[in-house]
Amino acid sequence: MPLGVYSVDLHVHTCLSPCADNAMVPTRIVEQALEAGLAAIGICDHNSAGNVAAVQEAAGGRPLRVLGGMEVTTSEEAHILALFDELEALRILEKLVQAGLEGWNDPEAWGEQILVDARDQPVGLEERLLAGASALSAERTVREIQALGGLAIASHVDRPAFSLAQQLGFIPPELPLDAVELSFHFRGDPAPFRAFGFPLVRFSDAHFPEEIGRSRTVFQLEEPSVTELRRALSEGES
């Protein structure tokens, strides 16, 4: 199959993330992604995959691939994106992550954590504190993601909080990351981050509809899938 050019934003939150706007519902996300000219998005809420299936259903029949994912907060309080082709594998990781979460959400302090269906209707509230850290270390998180067939990407490594580079002071070269992400806000020289030895990507980390696609990466792929993304990252086709 010939390679095509695909513009993707693989770091998008929904209203399940306590820090995201309640307007981040499935149909709005899909419409905004299409308007932004994206071929694929990754739904990566904090420590939960509860709204992934709803967004995938909302995108049914539309020219948009929705990859299931999660932004895991490791025990070091660093964020790592996990992306999967198969929902079953994502659910296994979700159970591992949530088994080590502590505390209960206070909506007034942290924000609501809304579970919705594909028609944007609320179906429940997640009561666990998704903003907290899991019991999984960064190393175990990456290895569990990859053992399940997923992509492991260190989130917004240029940010002063919740990044591997900030929490540890460096990114361990032996950590088998598939890539590291620079945030939308980064405007400097990426050379210091290239020195870590991992491919660089940029995504939006969207918390509001208008932020979807504000930062993206263009890949040469047969199709916008995790399998193809892994190949492209390893071969430098981005």
> CA nearest 66: which of 43, 82, 91, 100?
43
pLDDT one-digit tens code per residue, 163-192: 998 888 888 888 999 999 999 999 989 988
Tell me if the pTM is above 0.95. Answer: yes
- For Cα atoms 226, 206, 112, give the angle at the middle one, nearest 5 degrees: 110
* CA atoms of 8 and 213, how far apart (whole Å): 8
Classify each residue of 100-123 as buried b or exposed e, where b means 16 or more C-beta atoms within 10 Å of its C-beta.
ebeeebeeeebbbbbbbbbebeee
pLDDT of residue 173: 84
Q: Tokens 């308007």 belong to which residue?
A: 35
pLDDT of residue 238: 65
Phi–psi pair at 181, nearest 5 degrees: -105, 135
pLDDT of residue 54: 98
Per-residue pLDDT of the chain (238 residues; tens, 9 = 90+): 789 999 999 999 999 999 999 999 999 999 999 999 999 999 999 999 999 999 999 999 999 999 999 999 999 999 999 999 999 999 999 999 999 999 999 999 999 999 999 999 999 999 999 999 999 999 999 999 999 999 999 999 999 889 998 888 888 888 999 999 999 999 989 988 888 899 999 999 999 999 999 999 999 999 999 999 999 999 986 6
Ordered by where they begin, the domains of the chain are: 4-235 (3.20.20.140)
pLDDT one-digit tens code per residue, 202-223: 999 999 999 999 999 999 999 9
pLDDT of residue 237: 63
pLDDT of residue 192: 87
pLDDT of residue 56: 98
Tokens (6 digits) for 27: 């149909």
pLDDT of residue 97: 98
